[in-house]
Amino acid sequence: MPTHHVFEYKNTFTLESGATLPGFQLAYTTFGTLNAQRSNVVWVCHALTGSADFTDWWCELFGEGKLYDPREWFVICANTLGGCYGSTGPLSVNPETQQPYYHAFPQLTNRDVVAAFDLLRKDLELERVHTLIGGSLGGQQALEWALLQPDVFERLIHVASNARHSPWGIAFNETQRMAIRQDPSWATDTETAGSEGLKTARAIAMLSYRHYNTYAATQQEPGNSITDNFRASSYQVHQGEKLAKRFNAYTYWLLSKAMDSHHAGRDRGGLEKALAQLKAKSLFVGVNSDVLFPVEEQRFLHEHVAHSSFYLIQSDYGHDGFLVEFPQLTEAITNFYEEEERLEELSFEREER
Ligand SMILES: CC(=O)SCCNC(=O)CCNC(=O)[C@H](O)C(C)(C)COP(=O)(O)OP(=O)(O)OC[C@H]1O[C@@H](n2cnc3c(N)ncnc32)[C@H](O)[C@@H]1OP(=O)(O)O
Ligand SMILES: N[C@@H](CCO)C(=O)O
């Protein structure tokens, strides 16, 4: 069974913006056992509304008999800094004021998040990570981290994500934040501020996470209804309400802005130069129907990262295909590892000759 832990960092933590946090905690989950060589570590970075419970949202990848079998691997995932599943975020109490941060929580970047993860990694004395894997926002964080610590991460698996967030993606996020701003409760300092706006934000987001074909396949009206209670309508409402029950508008706001500022080339001489510095053997995975992180973004990464691999998931599910297309994801990763083994065997044979 996965086990849950908490890492406490008690020193001042300075963010890219220059703002500080007076320490933080990260909730994290581990699964499997670290081997004697400490060479079997897989680190997972979760998406926007995910948690450290990767066996919950990526259930088909982790478990006995699955791709990452805990008898073979040691898997770890931390809830993002700023998150709401156990890590320090806007609902946490600021030790300096003894009040929840709420609107006062400082804006983070993905680099801040991975700098926090890196403190946890060091605390656990994990000097090498066999595979760093993440999807969507988690893919952005994984890329940043692999660039921050090029000698730690041996392999990067970057799924349905990008090197720099696009104007299209930022526009989607801003539209969602506009919905939160429209909620009068957003002006208050309360735990549920903006929760009605959050529902609308999630409904808007669903249009970018799915595809025309996803809705056509699952939300088609059975008859020629003239009522206003269309299936697709109640689906949007349900998705908004479902998220508002398990998330909060502050964290949504914060992480969507972290996503907007994602730019792996920032202060590294631009994207091409930054990607050329990546040492991890990399696999870039896209979903053919993804309208939010279109496949051109993963192809760009593949073209600019030396010796990288690319896999395209075929799905009608859109961007969220990376959370549901388990057989294809398993195949992509298995092929990636097998290809590496084949190349190693070839070079070994050449040396023998
Ligand atoms: C503690 C935690 O929860 S951790 C966080 C877990 N989540 C994550 O990590 C984020 C990643 N996961 C996700 O984004 C999603 O769960 C996905 C993409 C994997 C799957 O999305 P889902 O919303 O479950 O799938 P789908 O689009 O098929 O919708 C199913 C839901 O819509 C409801 N639904 C479907 N059609 C309709 C309709 N016409 N009207 C109203 N409701 C509808 C279903 O009853 C179901 O509801 P339920 O989830 O409350 O049981
Ligand atoms: N469906 C994902 C968002 C897109 O990656 C989530 O809720 O985290």
- Whether residue 347 is predicted with pLDDT greater than 80 in this model: the reply is no
Residue intervals of the chain classified under CATH 3.40.50.1820 are 3-166+263-352
Reported confidence tier of residue 222, pLDDT bands at 50, 70, 90: confident
Closest residue by Cα to atom 3, ligand 2, is: 48
Pocket test for ligand 1, best of 213, 320, 322, 326 (most atoms within 8 A of CB): 320
Any ligand 1 atom below 6 A from CB of 219: yes
**Which tens digit of pLDDT belongs to each residue from 29-55?**
999 999 999 999 999 999 999 999 999
**262 by DSSP, 3-state: which?**
coil
H helix or E strand, kind and range, residue 324: none
Spatial neighbors of 298 by CB under 8 A, at least 6 apart, are 158, 160, 161, 162, 284, 285, 286, 310
Q: How far is the CA of 47 from the centre of ligand 2 (A)?
A: 5
Reported confidence tier of residue 228, pLDDT bands at 50, 70, 90: confident
Closest residue by Cα to atom 50, ligand 1, is: 242
Percent of the chain with pLDDT over 70: 99
- Whether residue 181 is predicted with pLDDT greater than 70 in this model: the reply is yes
- Whether residue 188 is predicted with pLDDT greater than 70 in this model: the reply is yes
Instruction: Catalytic residue, from 290, 308, 309, 315: name it.
Output: 290
Assign a CATH topology to domain 169-258: Rna Polymerase Sigma Factor; Chain: A (1.10.1740)
Closest ligand 1 atom, CA of 231?
A: 39
- Whether residue 303 is predicted with pLDDT greater than 80 in this model: the reply is yes
Assign a CATH topology to domain 3-166+263-352: Rossmann fold (3.40.50)
**Residues with C-beta less than 6 Å from any ligand 2 atom:** 47-50, 136, 209, 319-320
Buried b (16+ CB within 10 A) or exposed e, 266-289: beeeebeebbeebbbbbbbbbbeb
Task: For residues 159-181, give the mean pLDDT.
Answer: 98
Closest residue by Cα to atom 7, ligand 1, is: 50
pLDDT at 315: 97
The answer to whether 64 and 95 have CB atoms below 8 angstroms apart is: no
Q: How many C-beta atoms lie closer than 10 Å to residue 18's C-beta?
A: 7
pLDDT at 346: 75
pLDDT at 149: 98
Any ligand 1 atom below 6 A from CB of 51: yes
Query: Active-site residue 136, yes or no?
Result: yes
Distances (CA, A) of 73 to 30, 67, 211, 257, 262: 10, 10, 35, 33, 30
Q: What single letter denotes the amino acid at residue 337?
A: Y
pLDDT at 225: 75
- Ligand index nearest the alpha carbon of residue 324: 1
Closest listed residue to residue 58, CA positions, set 162, 135, 5, 6: 135
Query: Active-site residue 319, yes or no?
Result: yes
**Annotated binding residue 181:** no
Helix axis angle for 167-182 and 195-209, nearest 10°, is 150
Q: How far is the CA of 282 from the centre of ligand 1 (A)?
A: 30
Residue intervals of the chain classified under CATH 1.10.1740.110 are 169-258
**Which tens digit of pLDDT belongs to each residue from 91-145?**
999 999 999 999 999 999 999 999 999 999 999 999 999 999 999 999 999 999 9
| 245 vs 347, higher pLDDT | 245
Helix axis angle for 137-148 and 249-260, nearest 10°, is 50
Any ligand 1 atom below 6 A from CB of 306: no
**Tokens coding 180:** 């939160």
pLDDT at 229: 82
Q: How far is the CA of 149 from the centre of ligand 1 (A)?
A: 35
Closest listed residue to residue 105, CA positions, set 215, 203, 249: 249
Reported confidence tier of residue 338, pLDDT bands at 50, 70, 90: very high
**Annotated binding residue 320:** yes
Instruction: Catalytic residue, from 87, 92, 136, 315: name it.
Output: 136
Reported confidence tier of residue 353, pLDDT bands at 50, 70, 90: low
**20 by DSSP, 3-state: which?**
strand
C-alpha span between 68 and 60 (Å, rounded): 9
Q: DSSP readout, 181-243?
A: HHSGGGGS-STTTTHHHHHHHHHHHHHHHS-HHHHHHHS--SS---SS--HHHHHHHHHHHHH
